[in-house]
Structure 1
Amino acid sequence: MRHTLSVTVENKPGILTRVAGLFARRGYNIESLVVAETENPQISRMTIVVDGDGRIIEQVSKQLHKLINVLKIQDITHEEAVHRELILLRVNADATNRTEILQVAEVFRARIVDMSRASVTIEATGDTSKIEAILTTFRPYGIKEFARTGRLSMMRGK
């Protein structure tokens, strides 16, 4: 099962390497990792998506707690949280299909961020299923390239 961990850390050099190394040493694959500074520039939030059962997640959490600079760990997999990903994709678009591609992008509430004679670059955000649906929908047009973030998550306000 995929678990989403929200890890708050001190914004210090090397913390990302130590966290990723902890997973690698134990043979656990990180499926997604997003790290960014928070509202406090001394603190960063890591959103880590890892596949494993509850026992594995508990073991990893205990090991993470031992790392210097780790402040807080939450498994938010089953919590009320907002999850989002971002995708940029460049799709083949010529005069014959450009209007159709723009209409499809509009259905997904995506934005056109670049346009050339031969392609259109689209930006979209949403949960994992929406991003997968976007990829599936645009594949027949010919995806030239895409870049995708990992899952970014935050607990809902109470």
Structure 2
Amino acid sequence: MNIESITTAKSEIPGISRYNIVVETNQLEADKINLQIEKQIEVIKSLVSTDTEIIHREVALYKLENTKSNKKAIETIISSVPTSLIAREEKEYIVVQNTGREDENESVLEKLSPLGVREFSRSGRICVMKAMDHISEYIQEI
């Protein structure tokens, strides 16, 4: 098993944290992983979800040298990507931020790469379920 990302944060229910563990695997292996997680102490509920059952995003940061030509090119690129913005601009560098799916963040990286990306960092995936009656209702019943 290869874990692609793990993120954790407090949930909508006080005292309960939500973990998002992303793995690239088949359904049988995902179900086995899920059973192992549910056996852990203090795990309230573990669910297996596919990309079609969730809305997911990650944040990516791209650091580039701040030159006149780069700045103009960066502005042109981010104007064509509604989820991109300049997160920080200093004399020496510009940091671009994009929020999207992994493939969208990779696409922005490809567009910015010819300008000389000095640093690139991507968060783990965060998600919410598309179904309305999910984990929070289950937890509140416990």
TM-score (structure 1 length as normaliser)? 0.76
Which consecutive residues of structure 1, in runs of 5 or more, have no partner in the other structure?
Answer: 1-27
Equivalent residue, structure 2, for 1:129: 103
Alignment partners' CA distance in 1, 2:24 and 2:52: 17
Equivalent residue, structure 2, for 1:24: none
Alignment partners' CA distance in 1, 2:3 and 2:73: 37
Give the alignment of 1:45-60 within 5 angstroms.
45-60=18-33
Equivalent residue, structure 1, for 2:40: 67
Give the alignment of 1:7-86 within 5 angstroms.
28-86=1-59
Q: CA deviation at 1:118?
A: 3.2
Q: Secondary structure at the match of 1:47?
A: strand
Equivalent residue, structure 2, for 1:111: 85
Percent of residue pairs identical:
30
Q: CA deviation at 1:105?
A: 1.4
Which consecutive residues of structure 2, in runs of 5 or more, have no partner in the other structure?
Answer: 133-142
Aligned-pair Cα RMSD in Å: 1.5
Q: CA deviation at 1:66?
A: 0.9
Match of 1:89 among 52, 62, 86: 62
Q: Tell me which stretches of 4 or more aligned residues in structure 1 moved more than 3 Å.
A: none
* Farther-moved stretch of structure 1 (132-141 vs 109-118): 109-118
Alignment partners' CA distance in 2, 1:86 and 1:78: 17
More strand by share: 1
- 8 Å Cα contact 2:31-2:48 kept in structure 1: no
Alignment partners' CA distance in 1, 2:94 and 2:42: 43
TM-score (structure 2 length as normaliser)? 0.84
What amino acid is the match of 2:125? R
Equivalent residue, structure 2, for 1:156: 130
Alignment partners' CA distance in 2, 1:97 and 1:123: 16
Aligned residues: 131
